[in-house]
Amino acid sequence: MPLTQDRNTEMKATEVLVVPVAAAKRIFAGALVMANATGFATPGAVATGQTYLGRAEEYVDNRDGADGAATVEVRRRKAFKWANDGSITQAHFMKTAYIVDDQTVAATDGTSTRSAAGRIVGIDADGVWVE
């Protein structure tokens, strides 16, 4: 049913999200973070069906905890400089980067073994900017 009067629509800032951490995982500050298939934060790794979240703002150790026993702050909506596995060149500018580990991205999905990280917005000698 459409509105018939003003509505107080709540708002939430989403540049930094607090995300429950997957069981038995440790995430280092500055790490590339992804959400696993059940929506819990996990450090970047070669895996399919994962969702790129952004950069961990803090160190969190949930190696002894169950899913969601700890949370991690993840910064989003920025470009972060990740390590280049050596496959990304200027020819990949504005194309998709793929997650290799919690600090590295690649130009390809590794024959359907890697999840997408985001769009490549810059290539430097010491890393790749991904948004």
| SS3 (DSSP) at 117 | strand
Query: Can you give the residue ranges of every domain in the chain?
Result: 16-75, 80-130
Q: pLDDT 10s per residue in the chain (131 long)?
A: 999 999 999 999 999 999 999 999 999 999 999 999 999 999 999 999 999 999 999 999 999 999 999 999 999 999 999 999 999 999 999 999 999 999 999 999 999 999 999 999 999 999 999 99
Pairing of strands 80-84, 104-106: parallel
Query: What are the Cα distances from residue 109, in Å, to 13, 22, 89, 112, 126?
Result: 31, 23, 15, 5, 21
Determine if the pTM surpasses 0.75. Answer: yes
What is the reported pLDDT for 40?
A: 98
Query: What are the Cα distances from residue 37, in Å, to 34, 60, 80, 115?
Result: 10, 20, 23, 11
